[in-house]
Amino acid sequence: MNVRALGIGLFVVVGGFAAFLMSGRPLPSFGAKSSSSASAAAKPPEELPVRVLVVKKQPLSTKLASNGTLRSNESVDLTAEVTRRLRKIHVKDGDRVKKGDLLFELDAVDLAARSTEVAVRRKALLEVEERQRKLREEGLSSKTDYDRAKADLDIASANFAVVSADLERTKIRAPFAGKLGLLRVSEGAMVGPERPLVSLEDDSRVKIDFTVPERFSPHVAVGAKFTFRAEGGSPITASVIAIEPRLDERTRSIRLRGLSEPIDPKQGAVYAGEYVSVELEITSTTEVVLVPSPIVTPSLGGHSVYVVEDGVAKLRSVELGIRTESEVGIVKGLEPGDKVIVSNVVRVRPGSKVKVSEDAP
């Protein structure tokens, strides 16, 4: 059965081939097809249409986003300089005070009595000194008597100054204007240098501590303006007042401190320790060549761009600088007037023939 089927198949093939020969059609020429392909391969490659950017140097400015922490412009935990009983509290929780306002008074009955005693003695010795001076001028007293009276007066004056200073230490005043925190003591308590009475914060302005990456450090200077915003608040303008003189080795960043402009209460409350977003405008100190970021080709050796030289694409190694959202500064590798390919970059290869055209995709 299989032999018979094989014979029939062979007969059909032979018969079909004989019929093709009798039709007079020429046999297909495989050699001609190969020759045609070789001829096509021998044709010079077509020029690839590209658009170019003639680069030039220009100043670069970009906005850098960072995060920071607010610090009080001035902040202190007030304490008593001497250990005594708290006699009087002149303020309430959260009061706003001016510089020099009396906040607390300590018990000073003994010092007040001592001050009166010393003042009376000083007054008496002052009269003695004046009498001895007049007698000395009239020649009725010796220089020794006058010097003794003058020395007694000086000692009394010094004692009076000491007692007055001790008495003033019992009055705790605001060292600067600001807002008080929560009172931590009550009248009648024993207080001293180790026991905080209340905190005082200067909230007319705030300081902002934040960091920027190492590569931006040459472009940041004291006096640079920036804005910051607390959660749900409006932007507040500030300026850089100090720069940390060394980098953080772990984060490779540099720390900056800014000081805000006077804060308008309408802008909303801000608090020391609050987390804020910072926006700092970075401007290069020198002019740089700018190119679109997408045309820069990364590689193991660095970064490169394609330039056109005599109608041929050439790969040029470059060194990158500051980046913006759409451009990157080239600090090395390009010169003003170079023609950088900005279209068809994925199809370009080193040595490709290119044709500059504004209509290129």
Secondary structure percentages of the chain, helix, strand, coil, to 5? 30, 40, 35
Domains and CATH numbers, the chain: 49-61+287-356 (2.40.420.20), 63-73+203-283 (2.40.30.170), 81-191 (no CATH)
Please give the full DSSP string across 172-209, using - where no structure is assigned. Answer: EE-SSSEEE------TT-EE-TTS--EEEEEEEEEEEE
The two structure tokens encoding residue 237? 């303008």
- What the block records as the tokens of 144 is 């020794």
Torsion sign, CA atoms 227, 259, 202, 244: positive
- CA proximity to 268, closest of 232, 227, 239: 232
Q: Which two tokens stand for residue 110?
A: 């003994």
Q: In the structure encoding, which two tokens stand for residue 67, read together?
A: 């995060």
Residue 154, Cβ neighbours under 10 Å: how many? 13
Look at residue 134 in the predicted model and tell me its pLDDT. Answer: 86
Q: pLDDT of the chain along its 361 residues, tens only?
A: 444 544 455 554 445 544 444 444 555 544 444 444 444 444 556 788 999 999 888 877 778 889 999 999 999 999 999 999 999 999 999 999 999 999 999 999 998 899 899 999 999 989 888 888 888 888 887 888 888 888 988 999 999 999 999 999 999 999 999 999 999 999 999 999 999 999 999 988 999 999 998 878 888 889 999 999 988 888 899 999 999 999 988 999 999 999 999 987 776 678 888 999 999 988 766 677 888 989 998 877 889 999 999 889 999 999 887 777 788 888 888 988 999 999 988 888 999 898 888 876 6
Return the bridge partners of 106, or none.
Answer: 86
- Judge contact between 276 and 230, C-beta under 8 A: yes
Distance CA 342, CA 344 (A): 7
3-state secondary structure of 307: strand
Residue 358: per-residue pLDDT:
80
Distance between CA atoms of residues 280 and 308, nearest Å: 37
Residue 220 near residue 282 (C-beta atoms within 8 A): yes
First to last CA, the chain: 66
Q: Does the pTM of the predicted model rise above 0.75?
A: no
The per-residue pLDDT for 4 is: 52
Q: Which of 232, 326, 244 is nearest to 274 (CA)?
A: 232
Of 125, 55, 31, the residue nearest 287 (C-alpha) = 55
Return the pLDDT at 41. Answer: 47
Q: Which pLDDT score, from 0 to 100, does residue 28 have?
A: 52
